[in-house]
Amino acid sequence: MRATIGLEVHVRLNTRSKLFCSCTTDIDGKEPNTEVCPICLGYPGSKPKLNRKAVDYGITLALALESSIEPELRFSRKNYFYPDMSKNFQITQYEVPLASGGYLLLGDHRIGITRVHLEEDPAKLTHVGGGITNARETLIDYNRAGMPLVEIVTDPDIESTEEARAFLEKLSLILDHLGVYDPTAEGVLRVDANISIEGGNRVEVKNITGFRNVEKALNYEIIRQKSAKNMGVTIVRETRHFDAGSGMTSTLRLKEEEEDYGYIAEPDLVKTNLTEDWIDRMKASMPELPDQRINRLEEQYGIPRFQASIIVHNGLQMSKFFEKSCGLHDDKREVCNWLITYLLKSLNYEGMSLRESKVTPETFVEILDLIRDGTISERLAKELIKDYVKTGKSPRKIVEEKNLGLLGVDELREVVVSVVDEFPQAVEDYRGGKSKAAEYIIGQVLRRIRARAAANEVRRLVLEELDQK
């Protein structure tokens, strides 16, 4: 049975103030209900005023998705009673969105964009003593009310849970490049996922955070709906909640139709003309997008396309890190190989992002310089980078503090002589024709020197010493 999937992605825009008032958007970690005013609390008589920067960001995103921008910006009231919206309606766009159409490419598969529109965020609900359906009590924080959101609604073109996750990852990458959202802030990207099986009723799973959770929620729904269909049970059109702990969805309410919300034009906001000059200014200020960056990195730095893709898909900061490192080291391919093969691997092992770490391009290229000038071996550098990622300390200082520099020939010969004298039985075995005895001694020397000499040089000196015995 084939699944049909569409996504509604809500992105918090990185403006300094809320969508319709001057309250700050810097609310993370703030005391609940302290960053509020009569407008975002919905007091009678309060008048909203549109945040122009949020419109700029919306236009920029619409352009990046090849969407058609409407000449007029209008807002509506979406009427519903729920504690997260104190005025009992949400200011959003309904009849005419900011933009419509467009697409996002995943390989050769084109995911259509139905609409892009602006709206205000409701308040944040915290359920105490249970989940959303059985909490003992619910706490409300209106700091989040009025935060600027852009909603991206896809066509039902997504064919698998893996493709849904890939869509979200690429969309977030575009958002990062555009600079319209802060990927480190809490709850900045939330997803409503719509899914049906072979033309059956559509089920919506609300407010999922995290790409992995979207994939889990969709996987659960596919299994649930297929099982119901196999048993002859009708799938009802409904809204469901995803519990990240159990990995299951549960019924919230029967799905409303759009007319149930009683949309009306927002009387307190005038229409805003999105002139050609305005849109042209946004086009002129468009930054480089991920696919364009991949092409440029491949051409400018002479690296394979798959490596350029890995760098770009690890985020804008990783791309900037790579380019700055290339400005500090002349072998661009070496920079690329070490960044992808060892730096990224070490970051992933430590469970941290580049943003969370203390590594910098200046200290990263020190590792490559230490190899080039013969201070350390490449084998030792592969171990050194682990300490570097953990601490962010200068690799040169680590080498100095731990005395990790390469041994000279005389120092290395002293270690070899010492190890050979320490294992007389291995010497006798070697003289008796057992070549594995030499390998054993070579291994002991390598452990002793901790990669402070090339393995072939160690082998040469060990065999030379054994042959003299």
Q: What is the pLDDT of residues 294-336, one digit of tens each?
A: 999 999 999 999 999 999 999 999 999 999 999 999 999 999 9
What is the predicted pLDDT for the residue at 457?
67
Q: What angle do CA 270, 272, 276 make, to 5 degrees?
A: 165
pLDDT tens profile 80-133 = 888 899 999 999 999 999 999 999 999 999 999 999 999 999 999 998 988 777
Does residue 68 surpass a pLDDT of 90?
yes
What is the predicted pLDDT for the residue at 435?
75
Asked if 450 and 402 count as a contact pair (C-beta separation under 8 A), the reply is no
Shortest CA distance to 133 belongs to which of 6, 226, 246? 246
Cα–Cα distance for residue pair 177/183, rounded to 1 Å: 11
Cα–Cα distance for residue pair 198/427, rounded to 1 Å: 74
What is the predicted pLDDT for the residue at 374?
79
What is the predicted pLDDT for the residue at 405?
62
pLDDT tens profile 211-259 = 999 999 999 999 999 999 989 888 999 999 999 989 999 998 886 666 6
Cα–Cα distance for residue pair 387/392, rounded to 1 Å: 8
What is the predicted pLDDT for the residue at 375?
81
What is the predicted pLDDT for the residue at 411?
66
Maximum mean pLDDT: which of 54-63, 375-384, 421-430: 54-63
- Of the candidate ranges 314-323, 343-352, 371-380, the one whose mean pLDDT is the lowest: 371-380
- Structural domains of the chain ordered from first start: 3-282 (no CATH), 290-402 (no CATH), 409-468 (1.10.10.410)
Of residues 376 and 448, which shows the higher confidence score? 376
How far the first Cα of the chain sits from its last, in Å, is: 75
pLDDT tens profile 392-417 = 999 999 887 876 666 666 666 776 77
Cα–Cα distance for residue pair 281/59, rounded to 1 Å: 10
| Phi, psi at 193, each rounded to 5° | -105, 130
The residues pairing with 251 across neighbouring beta strands, listed in sequence order, are 240
Residue whose tokens read 């869509």: 167
Residue whose tokens read 């000196």: 461
Torsion, Cα 390 394 395 397, to 10 degrees, reads: -120
Cα–Cα distance for residue pair 442/10, rounded to 1 Å: 60
The residues pairing with 248 across neighbouring beta strands, listed in sequence order, are 243
pLDDT band at residue 469 under the 50/70/90 scheme: low
What is the predicted pLDDT for the residue at 170?
97
Average pLDDT value for residue range 355-360: 94
- Of the candidate ranges 124-138, 179-193, 420-434, the one whose mean pLDDT is the lowest: 420-434
Q: What angle do CA 104, 214, 144 make, to 5 degrees?
A: 90
